[in-house]
Amino acid sequence: MTLLRLSPRALSRSRFALSPMAETLGAMRVLANPCRDPWLASWHERHAGPFRARVAADRFTAGLVRLLTTTGWLPDIVALPPIGGLRTTMAQELAPARRFSDAEVRTQLQESDRHSETPTGLDWLDGANWADRGAELMGAIWHDHVLPDWPRRRALLEREVTYRAGLVAVYGWSNALGSMSRRSSWVGEDAIRFSNRPQADRIVGSEGMLFVPVTLTRGTWLCEVPPDTYALVYPARGAAEAGGGPSPDRVRALERLVGAVRARILLELARPATTTELATLLDVSLGTAGGHIAVLRDAGLIEGTRVGRRVVYRRTDDGDRLAG
């Protein structure tokens, strides 16, 4: 068992962040395999072919992708903590990933290969400038396969942060962390178990740690910059649910009853969300989303709760019955 130990100050300063790099790595893992996530099915169908063609066209790319999608120990070139909070950009994450020397990259990849499901060695590691080439690959996958879908993904991730932040505000970090992943749990009053492997415990610095959701239904990993900066990447709560919901016939019936946009808002509010998150998800203006929210609220179908400077909406019991 491996623990992340946090002082009271570190715990109080821990926060959420988003990571395009982590999202790209997650997308790579999905595209390299048959799709098991219903909400990603149409995206996977469009992108899996071009992605696999890219991989097959270059030996270095094929070797790196195989390693990144089979290892239990990610190299630092793709697993550094994000530095921009909820507004982290891919450019911000690629810059430090490019700074590793070839010797450092080789050491990282050798460790990853040792923890791979099927270790095959690094005979594909030809030429030089491996950190830069790896960053170019991650940037290309982000641009071609993730960025076009980023508004939808970001909306889901922001809703996850809204949900977890609400739990933290009311119940504290231990409750918020409890259901983040199957592999992570709170231990005592000052530690998080993040791995069953017997490794040295990590001591989180006084600035706290980052919690980074990604749109996967499974998979957790730790990003770190020694000696004390850490980010825990975990599956967003809404991703597993996004492919479900009422049958198409019931959705159409609800749309006829209350209108298409209001029906979608009611269905989406199976998970709490802000006006901005709903507007992004539905691809409508803030004013349009706000107008429909006001009608649903006046009808007693949804209610809002202020969390900091945001108002988070959720369905009432009547809203649940109508949506169902």
| DSSP letters spanning 257-312 | HH-HHHHHHHHHTTS-B-HHHHHHHHT--HHHHHHHHHHHHHTTSEEEEEETTEEE
Helix, strand, coil: what percent of the chain each, to 5? Answer: 50, 15, 35
Q: CB–CB of 208/10 below 8 Å?
A: yes
Half-sphere exposure (Cβ direction) of 305: Cα atoms closer than 13 Å: 13
Domain ranges of the chain: 2-16+173-235, 20-149, 248-323
pTM for this predicted structure: 0.78
Give residue 306's Cα distance to chain centre: 24
How many Å apart are CA 292 and CA 306, to the nearest integer? 18
pLDDT at 193: 83
Q: What is the pLDDT of residues 140-152, one digit of tens each?
A: 999 999 999 998 8
Residue 238 pLDDT:
61
Lowest mean pLDDT among 61-75, 128-142, 175-189, 271-285: 175-189
The CATH number of 248-323 is 1.10.10.10
pLDDT > 80? residue 252: yes
Residue pLDDT, tens place only, 128-139: 999 999 999 999
* pLDDT tens digits, 298-322: 999 999 887 777 788 888 888 888 8
| DSSP H or E stretch at residue 4 | strand 2-5
